[in-house]
């Protein structure tokens, strides 16, 4: 939803310094609180099916039951929210779920910093300096570990029995490891399924490219359910065709057009 210049002018009225906007009691933190609480009230209204003080809620079997204060982390610092409650205890807010201590978007910021190669301690210091939010190293580890669990589930997901075409290639990328930037080889298997759609079968990382590692990739594809590949497109790496044929002896190995 676009925000008009007139509304921005109204919000900035009386803001004479950066502290008035970014400070502990500044505009951004107030806006975060107001918008979040308004969204929570809208969620409660949708849950109950009637607006506050509306007579249609009489004898509905459930009603509002005050609010609970909860301090949550946000990219604008810690914010104390008033979370609405219902008498039946069946209200499950989506904006700030039960047991969570951060607004949606905060976890994504941690993941983005982690993906750039920052350590847990680096992220902790950055969040405190940039947003004034004190976050424990344990919490940051929990966020990154949760994402790694999803990554592992994707890496080991079952695959189709047949892929008419699979492209196999390796890319050299710059990656930060233990604070040191170095070259890493990323192995890719891109399949064309029986519906004619591209499907990334997997990504694997190693120090260098070699036929022996490709053999382990082929074995993993086999273990994840791929029974047959009609055509495997690859480069001219020595021993590569033999690695493919060792697992899929009936597969036609074809040099990709670039390497031809």
230 pLDDT band, cuts 50/70/90, is very high
pLDDT band at 103; cut points 50, 70, 90: low
Whole-number percent of the chain with pLDDT over 90: 24
Is-contact 234 241, C-beta < 8 A? yes
pTM of the full structure: 0.53
Q: Residue 173's pLDDT is what?
A: 82
Does residue 237 have a pLDDT over 90?
no
Could you give phi then psi for residue 156, rounded to 5 degrees?
A: -110, 15
Q: What is the pLDDT of residue 200?
A: 93
Instruction: Give the C-alpha separation, 169 to 190, whole Å.
Output: 9
Q: 70 exposed, middle or buried (CB, 10 Å; 0-12, 13-18, 19+)?
A: middle
200-227 pLDDT, tens digit per residue, is 999 888 877 888 999 999 999 999 999 9
**Residue 75 pLDDT class (50, 70, 90 cuts):** low
Task: Tell me what the mean pLDDT of segment 121-131 comes to.
Answer: 75
pLDDT digits (tens, 9 = 90+) for 35-46: 778 878 888 888
Kindly give the pairing relationship between strand 198-206 and strand 180-192: antiparallel
Rg (C-alpha) for the chain, rounded Å, is: 27
What confidence score (pLDDT) does residue 201 get?
Answer: 94
Q: Tell me, what's the pLDDT at 215?
A: 94
Query: Would you call 234 helix, strand, or coil by DSSP?
Result: strand
Residues 6+ apart with CB under 8 A from 208: 185
pLDDT of residue 198 exceeding 90, the answer is: yes
pLDDT tens by residue, 163-197: 999 999 988 888 766 667 778 888 899 999 999 99
What does the pLDDT average to over 36-63? Answer: 81
- Tell me which residue has tokens 């890719």: 188
Q: Among residues 167, 162, 144, which one has the least CA distance to residue 217?
A: 167
Length of the chain in residues, anyone?
260
Q: Which residues contact 150 (CB under 8 A, 6 or more apart)?
A: none
Place 146 in a pLDDT band, splitting at 50, 70 and 90.
low
Looking at the DSSP bridge assignments, the partners of residue 81 are: 70
The confidence score (pLDDT) of residue 130 equals 65
Q: What is the mean pLDDT of residues 61-75?
A: 81
Do β-strands 228-234 and 252-255 pair in parallel, antiparallel, or remain unpaired?
parallel
Residue 257 — pLDDT band, cuts 50, 70, 90?
A: low
CA neighbours closer than 13 Å in the CB half-sphere of residue 92 = 2
Q: Please classify residue 216 by burial: count the beta carbons closer than 10 Å to its beta carbon, then call 0-12 exposed, 13-18 middle and 19+ buried.
A: middle
Q: What angle do CA 186, 192, 198 make, to 5 degrees?
A: 70
């Amino acid at each position: 939803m676009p925000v008009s210049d007139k509304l921005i002018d109204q919000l900035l009225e009386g803001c004479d310094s950066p502290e008035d906007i970014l400070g502990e009691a500044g505009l951004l933190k107030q806006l975060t609180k107001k918008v979040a609480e308004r969204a929570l009230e809208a969620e409660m209204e949708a849950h109950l099916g009637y607006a506050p003080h509306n007579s249609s809620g009489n004898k509905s079997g459930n009603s509002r039951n005050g609010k609970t204060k909860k301090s949550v982390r946000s990219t604008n610092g810690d914010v104390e929210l008033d979370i609405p409650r219902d008498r039946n205890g069946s209200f499950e807010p989506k904006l700030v779920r039960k047991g969570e201590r951060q607004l949606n978007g905060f976890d994504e910021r941690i993941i983005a910093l982690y993906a750039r190669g920052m350590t847990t301690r680096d992220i902790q210091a950055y969040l405190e300096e940039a947003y004034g939010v004190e976050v424990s190293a344990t919490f940051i580890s929990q966020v990154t570990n949760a994402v790694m669990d999803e990554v592992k589930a994707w890496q080991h997901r079952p695959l189709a029995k047949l892929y008419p075409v699979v492209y196999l290639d390796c890319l050299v990328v710059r990656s930060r490891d233990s604070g040191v930037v170095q070259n890493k080889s990323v192995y890719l298997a891109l399949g064309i399924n029986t519906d004619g759609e591209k499907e990334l079968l997997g990504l694997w990382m190693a120090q260098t490219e070699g036929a022996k590692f490709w053999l382990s990739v082929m074995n993993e594809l086999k273990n994840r359910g791929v029974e047959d590949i009609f055509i495997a497109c690859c480069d001219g790496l020595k021993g590569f065709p033999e690695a493919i044929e060792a697992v899929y002896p009936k597969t036609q190995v074809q040099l990709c057009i670039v390497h031809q």
